[in-house]
Amino acid sequence: FYNNVNASIMFIPLMIAFEAEPLMASWASGQLFSAPFWAAMMVAGFFGFSIGIVTVLQIKATSPLTHNISGTAKAAVQSMLAFYIWKNPATFMG
């Protein structure tokens, strides 16, 4: 839980440093205060927090190595599905 709080506070200076122009444009246009924006942020935050909880539960039930292997396998399956669905060419250069 404390990692989420730390990240929320620590990312504010980085957002200002690297995304100041888009933030100011969103502020001026009012998009930063719109209900759809905050609804999307709440949904993303909920799922991000849920992933953190599931990660802790998985490591508690298995081991960090098993968690790492399952995460790598999941990423491989996601990549294969992306290549299959979107027909993106895969090369050794990326």
User: So what's the pLDDT on residue 8?
Assistant: 83
Which has the closest alpha carbon to 16: 24, 28, 6? 24
- In eight-state DSSP terms, residue 69 is H
Model confidence over 27-84: pLDDT tens digits?
899 888 899 999 999 999 899 889 889 988 989 999 999 999 999 999 999 989 988 9
Which pLDDT score, from 0 to 100, does residue 1 have? 64
* C-alpha–C-alpha distance, residues 66 and 38, integer Å: 35
Place of tokens 């709080």: 5
